[in-house]
Amino acid sequence: MLANANRMTPYLFLAPAVLVMAVALLYPIGYMIWASFLDWSPSQRIGEAEFVGLRNYGNLLGDAAFHESFWVTLRFAALVVGIEMVLGVGLALLLDRELRGMTVLRTVFILPMMIAPIVVGLMWRYMYHPTVGTFNRTLSDLGLPTVPWLSDGDWAFASVVIADIWQWTPFIFILALAALQSLPRSAMEAARIDGASGWQLIWHIKLPLMMPVLIVTALLRLIDAFKVLEVILVMTNGGPGLSTEILALRISRTASEFQQLGYAAAMSNVLLILLLILTLAMFGYTKVQELRAARIRAAEEEA
């Protein structure tokens, strides 16, 4: 009897937290899933909306604008996270040493992350301005041809990628630096004694040891990159054409401009599923890696 009660105790203590989670997390998600089966305009209450089954999802399949923004989102996320990872980790490897003024440098580095996204968008928008912006003025002062930063589809896409890299590379940098500084010194000393060069040290010791942290970092950035909204909203509002209309922006426009809450909810669910798959894939990958490492260790012990 007493043993039973003891076994129950942890669950009892957990119960309030679970309850709060269920209400705060599951209820809104359930609401969104329910809404995605409705033809719901913001001037109706949810109870008055018409149930249309899977029609919203069916329409998504044939919606060229949605496909386009889905594709833009994928390209955007892959590109920014890829470049940010390389830059951020590279910077961390370079700056992982005792330098004077390192604390100041680090603070300066993470400043872009701390600026409100709307401000970042406005700032870049004015820097990209065709005539009075910093970039085009510098270019024309140097006698070079100016660039249609935000007024040409491909350039606009590149411009929002640049702005995102500027803002979020520091995030990867500080996490990678923290990971680097927590690596066991013994492993690196052993490698050095074995005669490993600097590159070999990075490639065979540091990066593999940092990998679990890097994967979580990349995952966090990826999730964020799929949902980025404000900076692009302010810089291009999705244009020219649909060249920078990422999914989050499409969803926001569908809800507010087209007044179709149900359709917007269906899009959000597709985005949610995509992110879930990505997350599971990433965790699956680390799991496989761990298992492999464990197998190798076991094999070594046997031998």
> Ramachandran region of residue 40, left (φ > 0), alpha (ψ -120 to 50) or beta?
beta
Q: Provide, rounded to whole angstroms, the least separation between the CB of residue 270 and other proteins.
A: 18
Contact between 42 and other proteins (CB under 8 A)? yes
**Contact residues for 70 (Cβ-Cβ < 8 A; gap 6+):** 247, 270
Which of 7, 45, 100, 185 binds other proteins (CB under 8 A)? It is 45
Q: Provide, rounded to whole angstroms, the least separation between the CB of residue 138 and other proteins.
A: 16
Contact between 131 and other proteins (CB under 8 A)? yes
Which of 89, 238, 246, 262 binds other proteins (CB under 8 A)? It is 238
Interface segment toward other proteins; rule CB under 8 A; list 95-103, 215-223, 231-239, 295-303: 231-239
- Please give the single-letter amino acid code of residue 177: L
Give the span between the Cα atoms of 222 and 144, in whole angstroms.
36
- x-or-dash string of contact with other proteins, 53-72, rule CB under 8 A: -----------xx-------
Give the span between the Cα atoms of 270 and 36, in whole angstroms.
10
Q: Provide, rounded to whole angstroms, the least separation between the CB of residue 127 and other proteins.
A: 13
Contact between 208 and other proteins (CB under 8 A)? no
Contact between 122 and other proteins (CB under 8 A)? no
Nearest Cα neighbor of 86 from 212, 191, 217 is 217
Q: Provide, rounded to whole angstroms, the least separation between the CB of residue 112 and other proteins.
A: 23
DSSP codes joined into one string, 5-34: HHHHHHHHHHHHHHHHHIIIIIHHHHHHHH
Helix axes 117-127, 134-141, angle to 10 degrees: 20
Which of 260, 262, 268, 269 binds other proteins (CB under 8 A)? It is 260
Interface segment toward other proteins; rule CB under 8 A; list 5-13, 87-95, 235-243, 286-294: 235-243
Which of 96, 152, 224, 230 binds other proteins (CB under 8 A)? It is 152
Which of 165, 191, 196, 237 binds other proteins (CB under 8 A)? It is 237
Which of 239, 270, 274, 275 binds other proteins (CB under 8 A)? It is 239
Q: Is 265 exposed, middle or buried (0-12, 13-18, 19+ CB in 10 A)?
A: buried
Q: What single DSSP character describes residue 147?
A: -
**Contact residues for 80 (Cβ-Cβ < 8 A; gap 6+):** 161, 164, 165, 168, 221, 225
Instruction: Using CB under 8 A, list all residues that contact other proteins.
Output: 41-45, 64-65, 129-131, 146, 148, 150-153, 236-243, 245, 253, 256-260
